[in-house]
Structure 1
Amino acid sequence: MDKGAHFHRCDFQVHTPRDINWRGERPQTVEERKAYAKEFITACRTKGLHAVAITDHHDFGFFPYLREASHAETDETGMLFTEAERIKVFPGLELTLPVPCQALLLLDEDFEVHLLSSVLSRLGIAYNAAEEPVHLPTQRLDHLLTLDHVVKLLGEFEPTKGRFILLPNVGDGSDSVMREKFVAIYRNMSCVGGYTDKKQVEALKRGTLAKLDGHNLEFDFKAVGVFPTSDNRQRDFALLGAFSAWVKWSEPTAEALRQACLARKTRILHSPPQAPNVAIGRIEISNSRFLGPLSLEFNDQFNCLIGGRGTGKSTVLEYVRWALCDQAVLPGTTQEENGFFSKRLKLVENTLQPYEASVTVEVLKNGVRHVVRRKSHPHELLLKIGDQAMEPTTEGEIVSLLPIQGYSQKQLSGVGVRRSELLRFVESAGTSEQLANLENEARDVANDVRRAFQDVEEKRDSLTKSTHLQLNLSSLRQQAVALKQSLVGLTEDDQAVLKAHEAILAGQTAFRQWETDQQNALAAVQRSQRDLAALPSRLAPSANVAENDLILRAQTEAAKVFHGIRAHLDTAASALGPTSPEWEEFRELNAQWAAKCREHETKHREVQGRLSAQQQTLDEIKDVEQKISALESQLHEASLAAEGLTASEAAYTEKRREWEDKFSGRADILTERCELLTMRSDSWIRATLRRGVMGKRLEEQMSSQLQGSRIRDLGDKIMRLADSISNAPSPMVYWQEVLAELDSLSRSDKNVDSTPECPHLDSAGFNAGDQLKIAERISRQAWLEMSLIELEDQPVFEYRQREAEYIPFSEASAGQQATALLRVLLNQEGPPLLIDQPEDDLDNEVIHEIAELIGAAKQRRQLIFTSHNANLVVNGDADLVVAFGYRVAGEQSLGEVKAEGAIDQKAVRERITAVMEGGEKAFYLRKDKYGF
């Protein structure tokens, strides 16, 4: 686990059997008390409590037993719970003060037991021996005049200095400091928190809630953190944990509770906390030039890396982005757009490659641990999911599975002037899976379009071939008739034989075609048998699925259906076999026809023998008849291939419409995200989507296809065409019309010096000669690939200068742009957000506002920032602070982590003060100069 702050469910008012008002038997012997304490700790764990405070009235007598039980608790295997898992038991007192109000005094969880009696003495509280079954009767502590009197006494007492917190009762009851006559006491008290007795905070009166939230003028707009407590004093633990709070700390100390009160909105929750479902858990650097080996665990909420310039904090962020393949070089982007990525590669080349180092990043996604390891040299990218083995993977797979959103120094303020950054920003307004799934579906449909297009083209070619064959057949048949009529000396019987010869040949062709049909049908059935052999699909190896009776029944039914289908296919294959009984009649007819053909052939040879003097004409007739027979076979095949052209064209049209719908759906999603983005920026940004822009990829494809066509000013004409598409009322419709013109050119007869009408190409400057050259250059396949390049959708951002008045986003200042964009990033859910020194892009006046947004944002998404600004770290309430520094003072050659934890730790506060405030003296000097 990281060393930062985490939530713990706490009940900070629990009484022991020494309480005067205890309900139930009182353990009195040492053994009985130890047994009770063990049972109490078990009850805490059963009820889901992580920490309790033992707060008997003016008494610590029973506390040592409970602390001992906490440290001695074991799990079901007999092993002691780790320090992180152990139930925390704070020593405390319930004080009855003359204010009059009740108050809880809580000490550090590790406060020394032998010093507890000195606390009572310091407060002037009388107490009896811990061995007694009940503590002394509760007396009001009239000598402790005010809450701050108690604070002063303990704050000046060395054992308790900095190790206690005082929490007055802030409920609706008679023991509360919230009563109207105590306004001055509330306003002037130094207490930053309070507690309620057996009451949830939301159940308090509306007026009380307003005061506690700092919304009441009379109470000086003073807000405090509130801890609901159970006030449990039942032997059966009936109320234990019934009223509790989730409190965030890194160490169980009174200072941690004070810090929680100061950041009450994010560190004290009255319902179970929500955490991001995706978080970077750890980075491990095997070695590096500046930082050396480094292993660092991240908090799942807000992490801040701090340190002087050049101490390595930004380097760690860049290593994370490199390992997770964030923002690789994209085709069609400019050198400036790729600059941040190029700098990252240079960093890897200079600091990791000399050591052949690797960076390992762990990501927890929906409870599943993913480990990515990227090696700098030799280059290798590996992924481990859950308990699976580490396997090679690709950058695309990492980006798809484990996306992050990262910005280098000054990158945020450059979003508005880079189209690719704008698109990335809009896409990030929702889940990446939605767009990724749509793009995957579009690629699949595009492949379907290609197959359907190929089918249509083949059928059209077959239809064209069929038309040509029919013309040739018509000519040959007429030639055959004319040649036969030119023969002389024929009897009527001879003429009948010659006339029947063409029909005999046609019959032979028909029988051959039917035999071919039989063979083709058998081959088709056998292919289907192979395709269906492994169906239905097997169940995934999951016990949860395999044990589900409904799933098993469904699998059985599916198996039955496929078994039946395979049986039908077996029957069909058997029926199509060359020796099957089904073809017996056909074979008999074929044999009869063969006999008839032999009889005819005998007569035909006799006729030819009698006409030997006209052998040349007979040879010509034979040649023509052979050609007719061959062409008839070809015509049959072509006609079969052309069958279903209308249906194929309809299927192709439907697939193209489906493909277009995918990208129309993508544009719809991006439009919705633009609207979300506008809302999340509090309308400082007005984001809209410009649909259907002819992007670089399409321009490059067209230029590539027409390269070498010798069209003058080709680039300018393509640009004019792109402008016409982009500026059309409906760019998609206009583009489809352009595609239709290019389609007609690619189909046109290349031997004719004229082209179809192409008004859109005309208006772009492509004259008739250019169009002839286009017709020569663009093949059918090239046209298809061009048609499958979608028009691009461009986000358009505007910045609100004043109400209802917007300017182009690029005209806003860098600070205005970054502030508006950061509002969006912090107001939306998403993957981990990594920003290197966001304050570099922000105006100082808005940093405090951004710090407040961070509190809500870190419950929706993990944040990992580097910063030099104390407002972001302290007021933003960083859950983990990692302070970097130089290993050797005065030398800047090597860096290391100097401190790691949360602001409730003294060492971390000291590093924040030194790095961000210039030291304690500098801080107080500025305070004095400001006159605060």
Structure 2
Amino acid sequence: MNFDQKCFTSNFPGGTRCVRVDLHLHTLVDQEFKYSFPKNGEAFIHAYIQQLKEQAIRIGAITNHNKFDQEEFKKLSQEGAKEGILLLPGVELSVAEGRSGIHVLVIFSPEAVRPAKGESTNAIEKFLTIAFGNKPRFDDQGYPGLCALNLEETIQQLDEFQVPYFVVLAHADQDKGFFKELRGSRIKDFLRRGFFRTKILALQDLAYEKYKLDWQMWVKEIAREEGKNERNYQPALIRASDPKNLAEVGRKYTCLKVGELSFDALKFALAQHELRACPGCILPVQYPHIKRVAAETEKMLKGAEVFFNPALNNFIGIRGSGKSALIETIRYALDLEAKADVDYKDGLLQNAVGSGGKIVLDVYARGQDYHIERIYGERPKVYREGEYIPHLHPREIFPVVYYGQKDLQKQVENKPLQLELIDQFIQEPLAAIRQQIKDLEDKIREKINALESLRKKVARKQEFSEKRAALEEKIAIFQNLQIAGKLKKEANFKRDELALERVEYLLLKWNDSLNTLKNEIGEDYSSILPLESAENPRLFEELKIILEDLFIVFNGKVKDLEQAIQSARKRFLRLKKSFQAEKEKILEEVAQIKRQIDISVVSPDDYGKLIKELEQVKVLQKELEKYEGRVRQLHQQKEQLYGELQRLWHQEWLTRKEKAGEVNNAQNLVHLEVIYKGDKEQFVNVLQHVFQGTGIRRDRLEKVARYYQDGIEILRALDERERFLSFGFTEKEWLKFYERAREQEKLLGLYRVPDTLEIKYGGQSISRLSLGQRASALLILLLSFENMPVIVDQPEDDLDSQTIYHGLIKELVKLKRKRQIIFATHNPNIPVLGDCEQVAVFSYGDNQIGIDKGSIDHKAIQQSIVEIMEGGREAFNKRKEIYNLWISWI
């Protein structure tokens, strides 16, 4: 039979995927199958495949009772191949077991259909001939009869044919079913013989609860008896249609994850059903993931294209084959920061993509597809449905966790950096809090600046008092000499002139304030427009009218005020002109009085100046009284802002604490605790910087840092002299501390004492663990957070093999169902034991990076893993042989 399996391998460019499988199918040649079309008619073949297609079945097994029709199977399989459906040959065999026999499904590799060279009979027909011997396959009424073999003999006979096969126990809890026909002792015999998971790979439609409980009990008993894991005895539990007519074909099915439509992939999926079963319906992946990366360049990545799986993806290849180059290409396309070895990574990009080269990413996020392009040296561009979205950065729609080579080690060794583990997964809520913090900090700085300015003015209170006393003393001389009365008119004019200057200043100030208010309101109004809503158009139209009416009223009032100020200013200028005229009239009169005064002690010209200067000082003193009230008010406002700032710092910690709790609940290996303002060492370092040059020792500052949570608390406690003396401060040191703290209030009060992250792995603090165990803990954390993609270049560089298996692999298997994982790796445990969905094999030659892709179900990928990661087949077999010897001795 000319049937080529390779036609299916291209169906899954993204690697392993879940497909619907129906392993119990009957056709027209089976007496129990009812259909009106002529036997083997083309119409039946077409209708049968279309029914499978409508039910989305991708793998099926034709298992008619006690017979195999090669010609019909050939037509069905060829027609199915056109629709991307793999049909496997098989038979539903009535085996001589129990009271009335049991039905088993024997499913063969397609090679069983092809007769051996020089023969005309295929392996399936040969097997059936031996199985029945002289016994008829059907009774007089056409119903299937029992073969001559029991189940054990059937398996032995199948093994002798050396044709790949596996067995499914059909309708296990119904008539002719395994549990219905056999007793517990016989079932336990089969368990002891090791047939399950090796020969018998599945139980079909085991639904009866009593049989399920009995089965679990027998499995536990035999597992204890033989000292093995219960997993060794547990076959897959599958559903299948066992159709009696066309409408029933494909109605019941099982979902399995396979990397290609092939017998071997199916057999592996059933044997590893814990990894490969897809419970329930096949639902589209909703979490964000990269779908494809491609490079358009003449450099090393020329023609490179990789389709990704939403689960686990591995890049493998010898060192220098280009794995890191593609990892860095993805990082660059997404505009992620290179955390370490920046020059090395830039060099990789230049060699892999180069000037003018373009990187293309197709990603899924927020329920839709996005296309990201980045030309080397330019900014990335984001497209949705082919439309470019200006100013949209990839991280806004597609956040990714990225760790290049050695990045993980750097974070393991640097405790302050470990807090980024949480922060990178809560960027949006933290960004909102930090924006509020920044706004508050700006307001606090304004208050501090205003207070400093006012305090400088208030500090001149004594100066003004002294100046007023001096001026009043000088004026008293004029009064004692009886000159003041003669110059009273000039003094009054000086007072009036000062009042006019004050009014003119206020009119200008009010006009400026009105213009500022007008501009601010206008800008605010413009910023909210246009007011539109797709869901509430009528409501928003009314809202628009409300704001328009308010803005019209506001503009009208502003115009009225502008006109009123202009009018007042014109009237004021007329009054000022009149005042100047009156002043001119008395100037000669005052000058004549001054000429008549014949006193050498004082100058008559000074009296008016002294009076004006005294009035100015009095005005300033009145303002100082207001300033003192304003200082108290600003101080109170600043304290309120400090309180709000501390609340936001605590909110930041609560956000981290909540995320840590989610991670702790998601897995059991690693436990996180976020310590509020826990980095006391960094706090002390900042205090040392602030109080540098004061002579205050570090041990004193350490006591301060232990007692007070932050700089705000220190500022509030500056007057607590006795407290600081109890810390070991001398009187002189306390005064220096007090003065410097006031001088550096902005730095001290706005400093956020960092939170710290306490990580425990297996119940121990990671500070007590090896670097490998620490790296494993951090890697598990990365995989436990959220559902955003994780990209790590060679994570095993920091891990030992035992840690990889017992820590990382077991978590990988669980967590890859919730998020996309992309690893470049040299460790075979990760793709093999992690059941990697998509493997990209890298090679380098002639200045070109080659990439072969496929799931670990592909033979070529399996061979590459053995060659590259195990040192070749010979090394692998030799190591396996030695390990087996060791295990037998242990």
TM-score bucket of the superposed structures, by smaller chain:
0.7 to 0.9
Q: Which residue of 2 aligns with 1:912?
A: 865
Q: Is the 8 A contact 1:311 1:896 kept in 2?
A: yes
Q: Is the 8 A contact 1:19 1:233 kept in 2?
A: no
Q: 1:391 to 1:809 in 2, by over 3 A?
A: same
Q: 1:206 to 1:119 in 2, by over 3 A?
A: same
Give 1:33's match in structure 2, choosing from 39, 44, 49. 44
Shift of 1:260: 0.9
Query: In the aligned structure 1, how far is the partner of 2:492 from the partner of 2:865?
Result: 108
Aligned residue for 1:251, secondary structure, equals coil
Shift of 1:672: 5.1
Alignment of 1:212-251 (within 5 A): 217=224, 221=230, 222-236=233-247, 240-241=250-251, 243-251=252-260
Q: Is the 8 A contact 2:704 2:727 kept in 1?
A: no
Query: In the aligned structure 1, how far is the partner of 2:637 from the partner of 2:112?
Result: 79
Q: 1:311 to 1:200 in 2, by over 3 A?
A: farther
Aligned residue for 2:168, secondary structure, equals strand
Aligned residue for 2:597, secondary structure, equals helix
1:205 aligns with 2:212: yes
Q: 1:205 to 1:28 in 2, by over 3 A?
A: same
Q: 1:486 to 1:118 in 2, by over 3 A?
A: farther
Q: Which residue of 1 aligns with 2:563?
A: 578
Query: In the aligned structure 1, how far is the partner of 2:209 from the partner of 2:373?
Result: 47
Amino acid at match of 2:789: P
Query: In the aligned structure 2, how far is the partner of 1:916 from the partner of 1:214?
Result: 39
Q: 1:904 to 1:248 in 2, by over 3 A?
A: same
Q: 1:151 to 1:347 in 2, by over 3 A?
A: farther
Give 1:149's match in structure 2, choosing from 136, 150, 154. 154
Amino acid at match of 1:851: I
Query: In the aligned structure 1, how far is the partner of 2:299 from the partner of 2:433?
Result: 43
Q: Is the 8 A contact 1:67 1:89 kept in 2?
A: yes
Q: 1:823 to 1:448 in 2, by over 3 A?
A: same
1:812 aligns with 2:769: yes
TM-score by length of 2: 0.77
Q: Which residue of 1 aligns with 2:9?
A: none
Aligned residue for 1:881, secondary structure, equals strand
Map Cα deviations across residues 438-461 of structure 1 (whole Å, 9 max, x no partner).
Answer: 334433433343344444445555
Shift of 1:602: 4.7
Q: Is the 8 A contact 2:670 2:759 kept in 1?
A: no
Give 1:140's match in structure 2, choosing from 145, 165, 176. 145
Give 2:709's match in structure 1, choosing from 719, 731, 736. 731
Shift of 1:250: 1.6
Amino acid at match of 2:418: L
Q: 1:252 to 1:322 in 2, by over 3 A?
A: same
Q: Is the 8 A contact 2:58 2:86 kept in 1?
A: yes
Q: 1:434 to 1:64 in 2, by over 3 A?
A: farther
**Long gaps (5+) in structure 1:** 74-85, 128-134, 330-337, 541-545, 745-755, 888-892
Q: Which residue of 2 aligns with 1:417?
A: 413
Q: Is the 8 A contact 1:53 1:106 kept in 2?
A: yes
1:523 aligns with 2:502: no
Q: Which residue of 2 aligns with 1:302?
A: 312
Q: Is the 8 A contact 1:10 1:247 kept in 2?
A: yes
1:793 aligns with 2:755: yes
Q: 1:413 to 1:176 in 2, by over 3 A?
A: farther
Q: Which moved more, 1:356-365 or 1:6-15?
A: 356-365
Q: Which residue of 2 aligns with 1:547?
A: 534
Identity level (%): 17
Q: Which residue of 1 aligns with 2:3?
A: none
Amino acid at match of 2:147: D
Q: Which moved more, 1:650-659 or 1:385-394?
A: 385-394
Q: 1:51 to 1:121 in 2, by over 3 A?
A: closer
Give 2:746's match in structure 1, choosing from 784, 792, 797. 784
Q: Is the 8 A contact 2:103 2:176 kept in 1?
A: yes
Alignment of 1:309-458 (within 5 A): 309-317=319-327, 319-321=329-331, 324=334, 328-329=338-339, 338=340, 344-345=345-346, 347=348, 351-352=351-352, 362-369=362-369, 379-386=377-384, 387-389=386-388, 398=395, 402-406=399-403, 408=405, 416-427=412-423, 431-458=426-453
Query: In the aligned structure 1, how far is the partner of 2:112 from the partner of 2:457?
Result: 93
Shift of 1:223: 1.6
Aligned residue for 1:576, secondary structure, equals helix
1:166 aligns with 2:176: no
Alignment of 1:478-493 (within 5 A): 483=478, 486-488=481-483
Query: In the aligned structure 1, how far is the partner of 2:818 from the partner of 2:367?
Result: 16
1:9 aligns with 2:20: yes
Alignment of 1:587-736 (within 5 A): 602=585, 606=589, 609-610=592-593, 612-614=595-597, 618-627=604-613, 645-671=631-657, 682=668, 689=675, 691-693=677-679, 699=685, 703=689, 711=693, 719-720=698-699, 723-726=702-705, 728-732=706-710, 735-736=711-712
Q: Which residue of 2 aligns with 1:175?
A: 176
Q: 1:725 to 1:253 in 2, by over 3 A?
A: farther
Shift of 1:566: 0.8
Shift of 1:877: 1.0
**Long gaps (5+) in structure 2:** 1-11, 133-139
Q: 1:563 to 1:19 in 2, by over 3 A?
A: farther
Q: 1:737 to 1:281 in 2, by over 3 A?
A: same
Q: Which residue of 1 aligns with 2:96?
A: 98
Q: 1:883 to 1:529 in 2, by over 3 A?
A: closer
Q: Which residue of 2 aligns with 1:752?
A: none
Amino acid at match of 1:857: L
Give 2:125's match in structure 1, choosing from 93, 100, 121. 121
Q: Is the 8 A contact 2:295 2:353 kept in 1?
A: no
Q: Is the 8 A contact 1:171 1:196 kept in 2?
A: yes
CA RMSD of aligned residues (A): 5.1
Q: Is the 8 A contact 1:483 1:617 kept in 2?
A: no
Q: Is the 8 A contact 1:693 1:722 kept in 2?
A: no
Q: 1:600 to 1:381 in 2, by over 3 A?
A: closer
Query: In the aligned structure 2, how far is the partner of 1:37 from the partner of 1:645?
Result: 90
Q: Which moved more, 1:522-531 or 1:594-603?
A: 594-603
Aligned residue for 2:315, secondary structure, equals strand
Query: In the aligned structure 1, how far is the partner of 2:484 from the partner of 2:437?
Result: 73
TM-score by length of 1: 0.74
Map Cα deviations across residues 902-922 of structure 1 (whole Å, 9 max, x no partner).
Answer: 222222222223334444444
Q: Is the 8 A contact 2:255 2:279 kept in 1?
A: yes
Q: 1:320 to 1:479 in 2, by over 3 A?
A: same
1:536 aligns with 2:528: yes
Shift of 1:31: 6.5
1:191 aligns with 2:190: no
Q: Which moved more, 1:816-825 or 1:660-669?
A: 816-825
**How many residue pairs align between the two structures?**
841
Query: In the aligned structure 2, how far is the partner of 1:663 from the partner of 1:148?
Result: 74
Shift of 1:858: 0.8
Map Cα deviations across residues 148-175 of structure 1 (whole Å, 9 max, x no partner).
Answer: 7368548836xxx44x543223743343
Query: In the aligned structure 1, how far is the partner of 2:157 from the partner of 2:238?
Result: 23
Q: Which residue of 1 aligns with 2:272?
A: 263
Query: In the aligned structure 2, how far is the partner of 1:267 from the partner of 1:413?
Result: 33
Query: In the aligned structure 2, how far is the partner of 1:719 from the partner of 1:498?
Result: 66
Query: In the aligned structure 2, how far is the partner of 1:489 from the partner of 1:390?
Result: 81
Aligned residue for 2:528, secondary structure, equals coil
Amino acid at match of 1:97: V
Query: In the aligned structure 2, how far is the partner of 1:512 from the partner of 1:680?
Result: 71
Amino acid at match of 2:542: E
Map Cα deviations across residues 107-158 of structure 1 (whole Å, 9 max, x no partner).
Answer: 568998999994652343799xxxxxxx99341350454377368548836x
